[in-house]
Each structure stands twice: as structure tokens, then as C-alpha cells.
Structure 1
Amino acid sequence: MTSSIEFAPGLTVQGVQPPLNLRDFKLIAFDMDSTLINIECVDEIADAAGRKAEVAAITEAAMRGEITDYKESLRQRVALLKGVTEEHLAHVYRSRLRLNPGAAELVLACKAAGLKVLLVSGGFTYFAERLRDRLALDFARSNQLEIVNGQLTGRMLDQSWGDICDGAMKKETLLRTCSLIGCSPAQAIAMGDGANDLEMMGVAGLSVAYRAKPKVRAQAKVAIDMGGLDRLLELFHA
């Protein structure tokens, strides 16, 4: 493995030689929870059901790669959300969800350089679609919670592309988006923090770990451990 170099404090690079040219890339794909935004939405929703600690423990294990079946881990967590109201989802979005530092700046810089922007998440459409509209993202894919009479049922709905957006689906989504816009995966940047991001990061030309779990940080070409998402721009020509 190529040895890693601390390019600047809190910014580590391995396997690439900066400076790079942002315009050489055509797509940037972001994970949502704990990457583009500051929270794990499923954990905050669980707070309303008095089950945050229980759900967060499963989330942490899944993100560290200690649970190999991501789909089953997500079904378990969503089942614990049964009865939470849609109003609580709105509360999480309004009061707890924040963009991570540098998120808007990085998105704007990428769009200005001609890149398309994809949000691909093991989280939920309720949040991903609002972020897509808020940041004018080009594509978004995530999981859809079933809501009946204003309450979560503890289940998710199948969508046209499949049942759950897990690591394999994140990879497939990145590859299909590359095909759709006419670029190669080598022209894609993938940013994430958890084990379910590794497959899409593995096929992208530039993989970026943002304040990530150790397993993810070790495999990424770039690791941002301090500062905001826009620190990625330090690797590119001004």
C-alpha cells in the first residue's frame, strides 16, 4: 500500500499526487449522514421513541463495519421507530440537522467546475430530498420510510430501483450515474465516513474519507480529519 502523507494538518493523502485539476472530474458523490450533514438521522428520529441509545449502538457498529448485513441492521433500526410522528421528522430537519462545515462551499465549487453532484444515502428520502432541493443537487437516492396517518410504520417502501440503499446500491448508483452523464468512474469523487461507503469509494477515481471510521480512513485516498468538507479543495489547482 502507498504510504500516506499528511498534506496539511488534518488532511492526509495516499495514492494521489496533488495538485489535481477539479475540472478533470465530472461527478462528486456524497454520503449524507455524518458526511454532508452533522447527524445520523435514524438516531435522532429514535430519540422521539426513547430508543436513541439502542438505535445509535446499531448505527455505530454498522458504520464501523462490525455488522456485515447493512440491510438487516437498517430494518432493525427502522422497526424501532414505529409510531414516531411525521412532525418529529420535521423537528429533526429544522432543529437538529445542520450542513457540515464547508458542505455548501464544496458543492458550489464543484458545480462551478462543471461537476454533477449526487447524494447517495443509506438514510431517508425525507431528508435527502430536502437537501437535494436546498443545495440544488443533481441526483439523490436514499431509503423511503413508510408513513401512514402521519406516523412511521417501522417499515420502508420498495422503490423502482430496489428495496434498500446499502453499500452495493451506493456503488451501483455511482456507476449508473457515471454512465448517465457520460463519464468513467475514474472521473468521479466519492466522499463518505462509514463502512457502507467503501464500495462506492472503491470504484471512484478519488475516494475521500471525512472524519471517518478507521476502516474507511485507511482505505481512502484522501482523509479529512480536521476542518470542513471544503478542505478537499486544497488538493486542487486554484
Structure 2
Amino acid sequence: MLSITLVTPDPLALVSARDAVRAALSVGSETVLGDGALDLFAEGEAGATKSVIEAALRGLPVDFAVQAVENRRKRLLIADMDSTIINVECLDELADFAGVKAQVSEITERAMRGELAFEGALRERVGMLSGLSVDALQSCYDDRVRLNPGAETLVKTMAKHGARCALVSGGFTFFTSRVAEAAGFHLNRANTLIEADGKLTGRVGDPILGKEAKLAALIEETSLLGLTPADALAVGDGANDLAMIEAAGLGVAYRAKPIVAAQAHAKVDHADLTALLYFQGYVALEFVS
């Protein structure tokens, strides 16, 4: 049995989406999960069903996930930080304080699209911050960094229901430690900016946490819990998130680059991060606000 979860901020679009899915497939029961969220149930193969749903919903502002009903509720959440759990790319915002945002943002965009190797791109961008006062880190966090809508609810709801929540970022521990605390993550992993005499040196600590390290974190955390990657939900937006997204039982592309959206199990382009709870079969009454 498959669950077909439809999520949208537009109630009228949800009605249209439900009708379109019912016209395209032989659907059995349905369950209302919350405002703008609905589960439909059908027999079939997930890949073929996903293709049918994708065609049926074309043009509608509706996110969806197709998956087996069994093991929908994941016991590990592993999430990217920049542009996923938070609203910005911290390195780009730091670069603004150094007066080099345009140059750094262009490299970031290419790296997130998979056009540049992450490690080299990170070293190049951090190098442009050489001499920046470490005070800029706190100013950047205070002035620019905000949790994306639904992030805190996602993390705290999964944690309340027994899931372990890990924030794993190619960014920096200065930010992940604060974001993890604000959102309710149990742990965070990221890179370290090297500083001396109150200024950034333009270097980053080794080893660099990138694509393979994110995948390794997923494998390590599931193993520690006595689980497998099938028990994990991974979410991110850039090319360095792709390995963990593909390996997880449910891998979600959030407002993602095309290379990630094309290969993720599901994507969220319209709803907020609570869509990931609905995808797991949570109802709104279970959410921790």
C-alpha cells in the first residue's frame, strides 16, 4: 500500500490536486492531516505512481510524496542548514560584511548546482574573508539568520516523538551551534573557521565537511541508533546534500537546485517545512508549536 501525501498553502489547490489524483489513479481511502494536507492511499509501485502524480499535478502549487505506508515515520532527521533550516547562506552573508558578497555568492551558487567541487569552492570563499573581525560572526547571526517557516515545528515534533535530530552543514560551527539550539536539534556538525588575534585568517579547519561527510553522518547516526538509512529523513537544497538525500529512506529537496530536485524522493517548493511532517503521516494536532 502506498501513501500519496499532498501538501499546499492553497486550500483550493488541494481540492484540485485531490480530484486530479483520483482521476489518474484508483484511490481508496483518504485522510485529512491538516489545513492544506491530505493523504490518499492506493496500491501500486512507487516510481510509476510518482510519475503519474507528477503529471496529474503539473501547474498546481502542490508538493507531494509517494511512499510505502510502512516505516513512514522516520527515527532520524538529518538536515542541511543554509537555505534549508535557515533563510540564508551564512558564508554569503559574512562576505557582505567583508565587502565581497557578489563574488562569494556567485561561487556558492555554482557549487550548490554541482558545477564546482565543494571543498575547493569553500576554501576559495573563506579565503576572501581573511582579516574580517570575528565580531562580524555574531552580527551576521543576529541581523541575518532566521529559521525558515516550519523548521522549529519540524524538529521539535520529531524529537518529541522519539526521533534523533541532526543538523549537518557544510557551513560553520559558529552558526550551526546557535541554529541547532534555536530549532531543537540534538547535535550539529559543521566546519570550523580559523581565527587569530580577533580576525578570521581566511582558512578553514580540516577535514572539510562536505558531501561525503554528510552521507557518513547519516550512516553513523543510524548505526548508533541501531537503525538503517531507510529509517532516516534527509533534507537539503544543494549538490553537497545529494548523497545523504539519495541514501535516506525519505530524501527531500527543499527549494532545491535542479540537480537535487530531480533525484530526491520528494521535493518541497510551495509549503513550509511542516510538509516533512505531513509526508511522514503526522497530523497537525501532533505538531509541537
Same fold (TM over 0.5): yes
Distance (Å, rounded) in 2 between the aligned partners of 1:183 and 1:82: 42
Q: CA deviation at 1:17?
A: 4.6
What is the identity, as a one-letter code, of the residue corresponding to 1:37?
A: I
Residue pair 1:33, 1:40 contacting (<8 A) in 2 also: yes
| 1:42-191 equivalences in 2 (<5 Å) | 42-67=91-116, 69-158=117-206, 163-191=207-235
Q: CA deviation at 1:47?
A: 0.6
Distance 1:129 1:147, change over 3 A: same
What is the identity, as a one-letter code, of the residue corresponding to 1:200?
A: M
Number of residue-to-residue matches in the alignment: 230
Spell out, residue by residue over 1:46-103, the C-alpha distance to the aligned partner (whole angstroms, 9 max, x if none).
0111110000000000001111x21011000000011111111111100100000000
Q: CA deviation at 1:132?
A: 2.0
2:240 is the alignment partner of 1:196 = yes
Residue pair 2:151, 2:183 contacting (<8 A) in 1 also: no
Q: Which has the higher contact order (CA 8 A, sep 6+)?
A: 1
What is the identity, as a one-letter code, of the residue corresponding to 1:118?
A: A
Distance (Å, rounded) in 2 between the aligned partners of 1:20 and 1:226: 25
Spell out, residue by residue over 1:93-134, the C-alpha distance to the aligned partner (whole angstroms, 9 max, x if none).
001000000000111111122100000000000000112222
Spell out, residue by residue over 1:182-217, the C-alpha distance to the aligned partner (whole angstroms, 9 max, x if none).
111100000000000001111111000100011111
**Alignment match of 2:65 (pick from 13, 34, 55):** 13
2:90 is the alignment partner of 1:41 = yes
Q: CA deviation at 1:234?
A: 2.1
What is the identity, as a one-letter code, of the residue corresponding to 2:263?
A: Q
Distance (Å, rounded) in 1 between the aligned partners of 2:61 and 2:68: 17
Counterpart in 1 of 2:252?
A: 208
Identity of aligned residues (%): 45
Compute the RMSD of aligned alpha carbons. 1.7
Secondary structure at the aligned position of 1:219 is classed as coil
Secondary structure at the aligned position of 1:65 is classed as coil
Spell out, residue by residue over 1:14-68, the C-alpha distance to the aligned partner (whole angstroms, 9 max, x if none).
5x2569742xx2100000000000000000000111110000000000001111x
TM-score (norm 1): 0.91
What is the identity, as a one-letter code, of the residue corresponding to 1:111?
A: A
Distance (Å, rounded) in 2 between the aligned partners of 1:237 and 1:156: 40
Secondary structure at the aligned position of 2:235 is classed as strand
Spell out, residue by residue over 1:130-174, the C-alpha distance to the aligned partner (whole angstroms, 9 max, x if none).
12222331121100000111110000123xxxx101101100111
Unaligned 5+ segments in structure 2 are 1-46, 284-289
Distance (Å, rounded) in 1 between the aligned partners of 2:143 and 2:258: 29
Unaligned 5+ segments in structure 1 are none
| 1:210-229 equivalences in 2 (<5 Å) | 210-229=254-273
Distance 1:116 1:62, change over 3 A: same
Residue pair 1:101, 1:227 contacting (<8 A) in 2 also: no
Distance (Å, rounded) in 2 between the aligned partners of 1:92 and 1:164: 22
TM-score (norm 2): 0.76
